[in-house]
Amino acid sequence: MWNEQLNVIDKQKTPLLAANRWGKIHHVDLVNEGINLVYCYEQGAEKYYLRLTHAKLRSKDELQAAMAYQIHLFENGAPVCEPVISLDDLWFESVWQGEHEFLAHVCKEVPGLPITFDSSDINLYKKWGSALGRLHHASSSYKLGKHRYAIWSASLDELEDYVQNEPSEVKHTLQRVSQYLKSRSQSSINYGLTHGDHREGNVLTDGNQVHIIDFDLPSLNWFTEDLFRPFFDSIVSNKQNWQEKMKPYLEGYFAIMPETAIDLRAFPWQIQMKCLEIYLWTKHNWSDETAPGGNDKKQWLHNIYQKIVQLDWVDKVSF
């Protein structure tokens, strides 16, 4: 498990040592724990976020690739958190704690709190769609260069390994999803480097502005994947009002991106792919009884499983 690597950190010394690569910092506060340890600190009137991970969990090449993408997005007008260069003019720094190497990078704070589907302000969802549209518009001009990124086809290969001991219904769904995705057309308009983890927790709003954060998982995929990802939890938990939020969200997105960037017919296939990814990955890699995000793992996996094997919910979707 990833937390076994991160647990070796000296919680008092190492984060502060890392933060001081960006300035004279006297105090940092831990605000989130995952594959990254995230700390906040203040410098003058500004607030910053330091992200630390163990080099065994994430290679320097992976971090450099993710940061190159984030920097391009910021410089091309996407509403994303701003990466901050260190005092030694580096976008990320290696921080050693004995034999352990930690990788650190810093971003400026963006205003607001994680977005939710609880707001009744329709314009908020329109702004959200617009923010994602601006991200994809900037992504369309990104050149991969020497960097390597995750890709949807590699995820399918991984799922083929995981599914061997699953019921025939799960295998059948994976087969159908795989056939569909492999037959999909790709163009510079509908396909490119996506955020890869575009969910509510990684979208912040102050009610006026919307910003997207957390660029750990950029992936080559159809833009449709990013568009529908935030609705995954609502669909799995059978919330009734998510489609009401989809309409203004799409309106905001298509105000920036052409309608050909998204194939709405691909919606159930993208959700099924995400169901398979999360269901199978969690079963094979997550030992805690609490699922990622704080849900009861057994119930959460059961809900996802139902969406994999029972397809009647697809017929109820309209835009």
Task: Look up the CATH number of the domain holding residue 21.
Answer: 3.30.200.20
pLDDT in tens, the chain (319 residues): 556 778 899 999 999 999 999 999 999 999 988 889 999 999 989 999 999 999 999 999 999 999 999 999 999 999 999 999 999 999 999 999 999 999 999 999 999 999 988 888 999 999 999 999 999 999 999 999 999 999 999 999 999 999 999 999 999 999 999 999 999 999 999 999 999 999 999 999 999 999 999 999 999 999 999 999 999 888 888 777 788 899 999 999 999 999 999 998 888 888 899 999 999 998 888 777 877 666 788 888 998 999 898 866 666 666 6
Residues 89, 138 within the same domain: no
Same domain, 124 and 185: yes
Q: What is the DSSP annotation of the chain?
A: -HHHHHTTS-TTTHHHHHHTTSS-----EEEEESSSEEEEEEETTEEEEEEEEETTTS-HHHHHHHHHHHHHHHHTT--BPPEE--TTS-SSEEEEETTEEEEEEEEE--SSEE--S----HHHHHHHHHHHHHHHHHHTT---TT---EEHHHHHHHHHHHGGGS-HHHHHHHHHHHHHHHH----TTTEEEE-S--SGGGEEE-SS-EEE---S--EEEEHHHHHHGGGHHHHHTT-SSHHHHHHHHHHHHHTTS-GGG--GGGHHHHHHHHHHHHHHHHHHH--SSBPTTS-BHHHHHHHHHHHHH--GGGGG---
Q: What CATH number has the domain bearing residue 224? A: 3.90.1200.10
Regarding whether 70 and 119 lie in a shared domain, the answer is no
Answer yes or no: do 195 and 79 share one domain.
Answer: no
Is 97 found in the same domain as 213? Answer: no
Task: Count the domains in the chain.
Answer: 2
Domain identity same for 97 and 126: no
16 and 94 in a common domain = yes
Give burial (CB, 10 Å; 0-12/13-18/19+) of 285: exposed
Same domain, 236 and 311: yes
Q: Is the pTM of this model over 0.75?
A: yes
Please check whether residues 136 and 151 belong to one and the same domain. Answer: yes
Question: Residues 103, 131: one domain?
Answer: no
- Domain stop point among 83, 108, 133: 108
Task: Report the C-alpha gap between 254 and 223 in whole angstroms.
Answer: 12
Pick from 82, 78, 95: nearest CA to 138 = 78
Structural domain span for residue 51 = 2-108
Q: Same domain, yes or no, for 264 and 167?
A: yes
